[in-house]
Structure 1
Amino acid sequence: MPGRILAMAHDAVPHVVNAVVLLMVSSLHGSFSFSFSSLHPASRSLHLPSHTPSIRKLSCFDGMRNSLRLSSMKLADDRENTTDLVNLLRDFRNGIHQEDESKLIFDAQLSSKDRALLHEACERLGLGHESFGQNEERRLSVWKIQTADRLEDIENALRIEKTAARKQWEEAMAFSEPNEMEAAGMLLLNARIQNVDVTDFGRFKWTLAEDASRKGHMTRFNVKTGSPVVLAQRSKSGQWQASQASGSFGFIISTRRGSLDVIFEVHPDQVENIENTESISLLASPDSVTYDRLLQGTRKCRNLGGDSKQILDMMFENDLDDMVLLMSETFVRLNLEQKEALNTSQQFKLEFFDSMLNQEQRDAVEKCCSPQKTSVLPIQLIHGPFGTGKTKTLVEIIRQRIKLDQRILVCAASNAAVDNLAIGLLRADPNLQLARAGLPERVDEQLSGVTLAALQKKEPSAALSKSLFQQANEELRVSEKWRRSTNGAAIRREARKESRELFRDARQLQKEAVSATLRKVRILCGTLTGFVSALQEARDDELVLFDAVIVDEASQALTAAILQTLPYVKNQTKQSVYSHLPRMILAGDHRQLPPTVLAEDRGARTVLQSTIFEELMERDGGGLGGNKAIIRLDQSEIVARAQNLVSANLSEGNLGGQLWSQTLFRQYRMPASLMAFPAASFYGGLLRPECQNAGGYSYLNCSDESETSLLLRKTCLFEAIDTAGAGFDEETVTSAAPTEGSRSSSAVLVRDFSTLNREQAELTLRIVRELVEVWNIPPHDIGVITPYNAHASLLRERMQSDACMQSIDVSTVDGFQGQEKVAIVFDSVRSNADCEVGFLSDYRRINVALTRAKRKLVVVGDSATLTSDPVWAAFWDWAAMPGSGDAESFSIAYRSYYE
């Protein structure tokens, strides 16, 4: 029978040692076979000809999905479609229609392009892969990787990344003169120690002021809250280097004009080799603490058990049917009365706190909170493209889980994302028992009253602890007064002994305050690395365990960072109908930028940039657009999709939920004209625009001025200004700045090459001034984004001389991810005879750049250079095409710089 597979049902295949199972497939184009052998685990392999059609799955779950029965398989025969082979890899990764085979081998007829695409797909799916053989005999081997090997790969990659960060920093130190280092913001010379205070857990806050004879020199030190620093000292050769003395490393907690507050573990008098304790020098330092925490957390995952181990297995190892059968044991253990109630009772139907949630948002909430709707798997994913209400959905999920009397750990990759979610929770319910972990100085001021530090101060033991810390500090001061006395050594020893005892007692009282605070907290919010330090001081192990972990921005987080949360997942000892709700909920958008990685080693970069969010999304169909998004880019198809979106001719597609993921596809940030191109290019044309009017800022707000004198058109919300042929040539410059493309607050300062374009910057400034003066858009509602640090610095410097533009936010694309503004100007910078676009070729960077605007987007770029990239070529084709927008206020405009 053409197009049908003749095979035994999955659960009917006996496991026989030394057996070879053959599945014969007939089709219109002939037949082929593939086989696996169970002679030995290492030898199990599935041999496939390159034209193998995709085996698509139809899965059937009985009752509460407590068992998986693979009821049928359908053959989709399309030899030319690489998507079919990707689907086959996905089925292999999930264990669909297989017994125990551990390897796939593709025959040699694969083209090099298809082989490259399959290598990329393997990275996204978490599969091992290797091409072998020569010339016409070159083949592709694919295999599954065990959890222990995955953890080892992550640890090795983290070590390489830590070394790369340190190496970049050391190279910058070695080749820089002191005046260069200071001018570049890498060195702070001769800062005066203005004051020293004891803080929580006996650490010391050094308040540093600038040298009065060198007024303004402190403002050049390129650090911000959270940045690591190290005490600097001169080497014998006269160069400044990091001090190796104990207690030399600290971090910035606040910056003000002319002063800095730095936290150190010791008092200045306790640091060896400081010649003058009244004046010190600092170096910006690489962040080794974060890498050490990630390594430690990853090592802990080797010994996980219980519910945490189930989450880890779903991440890395278990096949789909294994996962469902494993989790169904929870359901099986329910008694008959509980099962009957679950199937019939209305008491488990959710009552939503937020009545304005759309259907997909409600579906996501139900999968995470309803025992009648959950997939029974330990992880649930939410794919939330730009403007689809991901934060709103997570707020509802957290409130529903709190209603079940659960404790929730809420994390994200950045402080901004954590604050955004915490603020959303408190706006929805100000009475939530929520605490924000982390440095108070790095937390949004709206949350200042709910930081752990603020809440701990309310505990009685905290006041006593503070008093003891102050006494201990005073004992240290006393000891130093006797430094030159005849019998001073004995007096100093006694004073320091007394100080140590006071510090010990104070720390114990501080831990009591921490524990008392955590007992009252139902929601703990913090970054993926910051929350760990907040829990280390708790005295009761139960206080550091949570019923569920929710991670926002999971697509921007290193897999190692998400692994940090697993040891803090509580094991469920009492079974109930809620026992099989997901224990980990990850939300993000893998079509946007992944984590920043510094290492040049290709293997380490691949391991670190391949996030667990993307892997799980790809295993479950790929999210919005799925196979339609970025497999082979078809320029004409992208243009057609974009036109359809603007004209509301929406295509049909697979929207919403899969097995362990739920996609949000109704977009509320921007109207269709701004959404059209990124939606068509990166989401399969399946985003739905729900923002149907320009609202607030449109051409109706413009001043009465002749359009012929303006750069921008009053009737357009999206404009592309083409500088091709204008002679706006880019420049390569040397700069000392955070690593290009970095979003971290503790990014390594390096001497690096960056790119700027002076003439194009002037054009961008004219556009920004017009948005303020003609469009009447307040400066704080405007963002200017660009790919390169040097160009961003140039724009900031030029704007500081213009009062109307001083409050405009200027950032790199990477730094602006997660933010939005009413109006965005994107300056692409690149313009060169070789048509080099640099890392603008990363489609995820393009996606972020084009999706930050709510009402007005202006793209400035050289089409002659940018069209060497297929996505940018499609962009300029679409922007320049007549009729690419409608005749109303949503229209799209292209114009050359000469027009």
Structure 2
Amino acid sequence: MAIDIPTFASTQLHLLEHELAIELQEISNEVSNNTPKSLSRAGLAIMNLTPVSQRTGLGGKTIVEMIPDTATGNEGEIPANGMRVGDIVALAEQPVGNARKSEVRDLEQKGVKGILVKITKTRLALALEDDRGDNTEALLSGQQRRLWIIKLADEVTHKRMKIVMERLGRMPERDYSNLMRVLFGLDSLSPVHYLDDDLDWIDERLNNSQKEAVRFALGSPTAALIHGPPGTGKTHTLIELILQMLKRQKRVLVCGPSNISVDNIVERLVPHKIPLVRLGHPARLLPSVLNNSLDVLTQSSEAAEIVRDVRKEIDCKQASIRKTKSGKERRQIYADIKELRKEYIQREKKIVKNLFRGCKVVLATLHGAGSYNMRDELFDAVIIDEASQALEAQCWVPLIGAQKVILAGDHLQLPPTIKSLNSKSKMRGTTTDRQLGIMKGISLETTLFSRLLELYGSQIKRMLTTQYRMNEKIMRFPSDELYESKLVAATAVKGHTLASLPYGVRETEDTIEPLIYFDTQGGDFPEKNEEENTFEYNSKNQNNDKRSKRVLTGESKSNEMEAALVKFHIQNLVDAGVKPEDITVITPYNAQLSLMTRTFKETFPGIELGSVDGFQGREKEAIILSLVRSNPKRELGFLSDKRRLNVAMTRPRRSLTVIGDSETLRYVETIFSS
């Protein structure tokens, strides 16, 4: 069914606005309702910082390095925290210990936004935004008391989605591209023009379903979907597709919803020695791809000399700021820096344009494709990996001017995470909704990948069917339940178990069986609500501030007896010779995750612990799944979502152990019925 583009755009804008409002409200509540120390204990802030140096980064941004103030008794070390490189933060003057909450909010609003580009035990670095006002000057002049950083919502991504949806909504119908008309069902799919069967394959090891997917994507005039179930070599297939496009003199933009999804492709393209550039802040990229990043390439190119002298002059002037006490002199230095920065940016733009001109493959996150460096860049095709984990509005950032798109993903795994309840529920088409131009049946969880499948069915997709990860017995349930029994285990993995690991593992009941189920029915393994089981981010800090504890976990579930059973099973595997680094414990609930971390992380330091949602896209030799839920009402919560169960069950290579109550989790019985 055709979709009205302006109505679609207004629906997306409404949902995105609500989603951002929820995110901002969460952050605001955390800052407003907690003391600075509580925020620090929850991992959402780092206190007692002092700036030690400044330099100029890509785009003329100021990079400021900070260290802990040794006078605070931290021995020069940054306290435990939940900050990660790439986080958006506010740098502000730190409130005094007895500051009222309103004062904390005021100080935070006077701060400067930035991106965390480095964090170690003893120092961190921020790339500040282009705010060159009095706030920045005051913060970096060394005249303030200690500084702190507070984690913020990522408004940049929302802003780019909003811009592209507004553009889509305003666009007159005469300007719709052929691709746009197909993606919204205004025109039908054009027939696939298959190339010769005897393609000159770059990788001859591709299986038949992978080769068919590449042929299909090459021959599709406007849009194609590659459905890649777990372990079927989706990324491997995309590399072949990109290389085949380059052989045909095509220019390709490759995107993904996350930095890791893009970096995985960069890592596999680099050995082929093709001219490529990876857009994105260096702080957010894997170390292995940095040499291909725009930042490094602009600094190492032959033309880079024309910006080095300006960068050096900016850095010298920034260093001189701290040496003067005169406000008039400082203001003049900042004015000089502002002019130098303009010159720096102009020179840098020329280098970037020349770099782009020589690159046939450009790689970026979906929102990164909307950066100013990408303006006026044209591509023959856009490839989006992990498309089923991306918001549709994100996908339109690179697609609004595109001619052709190939989406790769798996709609039967978890969709993008949505915080706003209204965004998750289908719109009811109330009078207010109609006045706003809201479509029925559309939510932020409706991805472009799944929408196109519903619109065109099997004619728009090809599915990869040979999987190279799981023992056949582990594969059987997801294959039969979700993938129409089409998955086939490759010979190399079909029968592998923990006992067949190459480093010598003893044969025991736990190492020769690929599927193990501990049934906890009977009521002796009851779940607990999070309120009964709160925890702090940093367990070394003992206090009774429940509000700060709940900042991290929220409402969740735990199960102490299941945690004990997990520990027992890990011990059996380790005693049999399985290396701890080959074992991962996953659970759907954060409270259970924190409980298990406290319970046995010290006993088994090599064991990885994680959430089901966070482990999507990864694999381990042995996976232990703690399902937690056990209650007389048989309430499942979000465990009723088969996509979450699918993700959990398809992470292991050789061994899957499930711990759960079959009376509560009736569907678990079907997995092990054989």
TM superposition score normalised by structure 1 = 0.66
Return the offset for 1:819: 0.7
Rounded Cα–Cα distance in structure 2 between residues aligned with 1:231 and 1:677: 50
- Which one of the candidate residues 124, 128, 134 is aligned to 1:260? 124
Contact 1:760 1:829 in 2 (8 A): yes
1:555 equivalenced with 2:393 (yes/no): no
Higher mean C-alpha deviation, range 687-696 or range 389-398: 687-696
1:353 equivalenced with 2:202 (yes/no): yes
Tell me how many residue pairs correspond in the alignment. Answer: 633
- 1:757 corresponds in structure 2 to 559
Return the offset for 1:176: 2.1
Sort the Cα spacing of 1:606 and 1:765 in 2 relative to 1 into closer, same or farther, 3 A: farther
Q: Secondary structure at 2:530's aligned position in 1?
A: strand
Letter in 1 for 2:261: A
Return the offset for 1:187: 2.3
Letter in 1 for 2:510: R
Letter in 2 for 1:590: H
Letter in 2 for 1:357: L
Letter in 2 for 1:156: H
Rounded Cα–Cα distance in structure 2 between residues aligned with 1:829 and 1:466: 57
1:445 equivalenced with 2:287 (yes/no): yes
Return the offset for 1:153: 0.5
Return the offset for 1:603: 4.3
Sort the Cα spacing of 1:261 and 1:148 in 2 relative to 1 into closer, same or farther, 3 A: same
Q: Which has the larger strand fraction?
A: 1
Rounded Cα–Cα distance in structure 1 between residues aligned with 2:421 and 2:107: 28
1:410 equivalenced with 2:243 (yes/no): no
Contact 2:277 2:363 in 1 (8 A): yes
Return the offset for 1:477: 4.7
- Which one of the candidate residues 482, 487, 495 is aligned to 1:687? 487
The aligned runs of 1:185-334 (5 Å cut-off) are 185-212=43-70, 213-215=72-74, 218-232=78-92, 234=95, 237=101, 240-241=104-105, 243=107, 248-265=112-129, 270-271=135-136, 274=139, 276-277=143-144, 279-302=146-169, 303=171, 309-320=177-188, 323-324=189-190
Sort the Cα spacing of 1:272 and 1:424 in 2 relative to 1 into closer, same or farther, 3 A: closer
Return the offset for 1:702: 6.6
Rounded Cα–Cα distance in structure 1 between residues aligned with 2:536 and 2:258: 20
Rounded Cα–Cα distance in structure 2 between residues aligned with 1:351 and 1:699: 37
Q: Secondary structure at 1:854's aligned position in 2?
A: strand
The aligned runs of 1:703-852 (5 Å cut-off) are 712-725=509-522, 727-733=524-530, 752-774=554-576, 776-802=577-603, 805-852=604-651
- 1:385 corresponds in structure 2 to 229
Rounded Cα–Cα distance in structure 2 between residues aligned with 1:853 and 1:823: 5
Contact 1:736 1:752 in 2 (8 A): no
Sort the Cα spacing of 1:210 and 1:357 in 2 relative to 1 into closer, same or farther, 3 A: same
1:532 equivalenced with 2:370 (yes/no): yes
Return the offset for 1:272: 6.5
Root mean square deviation, CA, Å: 3.0
Return the offset for 1:222: 1.2
Q: Computing the radius of gyration over CA atoms, which structure comes out larger, 1 or 2?
A: 1
Rounded Cα–Cα distance in structure 2 between residues aligned with 1:242 and 1:305: 46
Return the offset for 1:395: 1.0
Sort the Cα spacing of 1:502 and 1:239 in 2 relative to 1 into closer, same or farther, 3 A: closer
- 1:155 corresponds in structure 2 to 13
The aligned runs of 1:373-772 (5 Å cut-off) are 374-376=219-221, 378-427=222-271, 429=272, 431-478=273-320, 481-484=323-326, 489=328, 491-533=329-371, 536-537=372-373, 542=376, 544-569=377-402, 583-601=404-422, 602-603=425-426, 606-621=442-457, 658-691=458-491, 693-695=494-496, 697-698=498-499, 712-725=509-522, 727-733=524-530, 752-772=554-574
Return the offset for 1:276: 4.4
> Percent sequence identity over matched residues?
30
Rounded Cα–Cα distance in structure 2 between residues aligned with 1:505 and 1:703: 63
Cα deviation, 1:206-253, whole Å, max 9, x if unaligned, reads: 222223234287333211011111134546556533646576111211
Return the offset for 1:309: 2.1
Contact 1:828 1:860 in 2 (8 A): yes
Higher mean C-alpha deviation, range 255-264 or range 789-798: 789-798
Cα deviation, 1:665-691, whole Å, max 9, x if unaligned, reads: 222221220001111111222222224
Letter in 2 for 1:359: N
Contact 2:64 2:128 in 1 (8 A): yes
Sort the Cα spacing of 1:415 and 1:771 in 2 relative to 1 into closer, same or farther, 3 A: farther
- 1:89 corresponds in structure 2 to none
Higher relative contact order (CA 8 A, sep 6+): 2
Q: Secondary structure at 1:241's aligned position in 2?
A: helix
Rounded Cα–Cα distance in structure 1 between residues aligned with 2:213 and 2:174: 26
Letter in 2 for 1:188: I
Contact 2:252 2:361 in 1 (8 A): yes
Rounded Cα–Cα distance in structure 2 between residues aligned with 1:247 and 1:319: 50
- 2:669 corresponds in structure 1 to 876
Rounded Cα–Cα distance in structure 2 between residues aligned with 1:550 and 1:457: 28
Contact 2:24 2:153 in 1 (8 A): yes
Letter in 2 for 1:291: H
Q: Secondary structure at 1:615's aligned position in 2?
A: helix
Rounded Cα–Cα distance in structure 1 between residues aligned with 2:282 and 2:241: 26
- 1:41 corresponds in structure 2 to none
Return the offset for 1:282: 1.5
Contact 2:90 2:111 in 1 (8 A): no
Sort the Cα spacing of 1:773 and 1:432 in 2 relative to 1 into closer, same or farther, 3 A: farther
Return the offset for 1:846: 0.6
Return the offset for 1:292: 0.8
Return the offset for 1:166: 0.8
Rounded Cα–Cα distance in structure 2 between residues aligned with 1:755 and 1:405: 54
Rounded Cα–Cα distance in structure 2 between residues aligned with 1:850 and 1:165: 30
Contact 1:195 1:206 in 2 (8 A): yes
Rounded Cα–Cα distance in structure 2 between residues aligned with 1:545 and 1:517: 14
Return the offset for 1:479: 5.2
Sort the Cα spacing of 1:151 and 1:839 in 2 relative to 1 into closer, same or farther, 3 A: same
Sort the Cα spacing of 1:878 and 1:510 in 2 relative to 1 into closer, same or farther, 3 A: closer
Rounded Cα–Cα distance in structure 2 between residues aligned with 1:238 and 1:548: 51
Contact 2:523 2:631 in 1 (8 A): no
Q: Secondary structure at 2:657's aligned position in 1?
A: strand
Rounded Cα–Cα distance in structure 1 between residues aligned with 2:16 and 2:613: 21
Cα deviation, 1:76-114, whole Å, max 9, x if unaligned, reads: xxxxxxxxxxxxxxxxx2xxxxxxxxxxxxxxxxxxxxx
Return the offset for 1:736: 8.6
Cα deviation, 1:397-446, whole Å, max 9, x if unaligned, reads: 1111001111111111222221222222234x2x1112222122322222
- 2:545 corresponds in structure 1 to none
Contact 1:189 1:281 in 2 (8 A): yes
Q: Secondary structure at 2:498's aligned position in 1?
A: coil
Rounded Cα–Cα distance in structure 1 between residues aligned with 2:536 and 2:204: 47
